[in-house]
Amino acid sequence: MKNKALKMIAMILILATLNTLLVLGCWPYFSSEELIEKSEVILIGRLNGNISEEQVKYESTIEIWITKWEIEVEQVIKGNVEESSINIVTTGAENKGITLSTSYRLDTTQEYVLLFLISYGEDYQPITPQGVKYITVGDKDNREDLYKRYNIFPEELQEELEDYILENEIAFDLDKEEEDKEDNKLLYGVTSVSLIGSYLLIKKRKK
């Protein structure tokens, strides 16, 4: 009887230890609907690569290593992001040889990402690794349909995003990229004319 009780206590302790490790090492799972609901920012962007690895304090006490990544913003679906590029943070620092039970990195072989983010100081972090969805470009020249321009998987996630966009009457400026190109051309033209004018004026004065 005593041995049975000791075995039971040992089993409880083992299960408790395993449970602690699972809690520390695993991320919560979110459905597509929960990902959309719990994220502060949802956007489509281009991954420009990692820009730094830093040691920071987590909850003011625990020091952890993080990796910062630069994302060029293409389309904002949820939240208020005015910047043309943002930094996002993941845990761990591969180049420093630092890995945590929660470490993960972005796949730099991919170009486009659909991100579900929460705030991290002045930057952002994926709500979980599940909040990083690699997508491909379909019809890049399509200026009317977001879902023809980008291939979003799984289909269930695309449907949930469509519902969210319709319910919140979100309009996308899919022509922004072309407008920016035209603005840059105009700026280049004005600058060139200005420089030529200045050159001719200086030349005239010298005569």
pLDDT per residue as tens digits for the range 131-169: 999 999 998 888 778 888 999 989 999 999 999 999 999
Domain count, the chain: 1
**Whole-number pLDDT of residue 13:** 44
Asked if residue 200 belongs to a domain, the reply is no
* HSE toward the beta carbon, residue 13, CA cutoff 13 A: 6
Q: What is the CATH number of the domain that holds 76?
A: 2.40.50.120
CA angle 74, 77, 81 (to 5 degrees): 65
Torsion from C-alpha of 136, 138, 139, 141, nearest 10 degrees: 0
**Contact 44/62 with Cβ under 8 angstroms?**
no
Residues whose CB falls within 8 Å of the CB of residue 69, separated by 6 or more in sequence, listed in order: 47, 48, 49, 50, 51, 87, 88, 89, 90, 106
Q: What type of residue sits at position 54?
A: E
Q: What type of residue sits at position 195?
A: L
Cα separation values, 71 from 51, 52, 83, 202, Å: 10, 13, 10, 44
Structural domain containing residue 38: 30-181
pLDDT band at 6 (very low <50, low <70, confident <90, very high): low
**Whole-number pLDDT of residue 57:** 79
**Whole-number pLDDT of residue 98:** 78
Token digits of residue 189 = 């033209």
Name the residue with tokens 């890049």. 140
| Whole-angstrom distance, CA of residue 176 vs CA of residue 167 | 23
Q: Is the pLDDT of residue 180 over 80?
A: no
Asked if residue 17 belongs to a domain, the reply is no
**Whole-number pLDDT of residue 79:** 97
Look up the pTM and report it.
Answer: 0.71
DSSP 98: B
pLDDT per residue as tens digits for the range 51-71: 999 988 776 677 888 999 999
Q: Is the pLDDT of residue 202 over 80?
A: no
Asked if residue 204 belongs to a domain, the reply is no
Asked if residue 40 belongs to a domain, the reply is yes
DSSP 13-31: HHHHHHHHHHHHH-PPP--
**Contact 104/91 with Cβ under 8 angstroms?**
yes
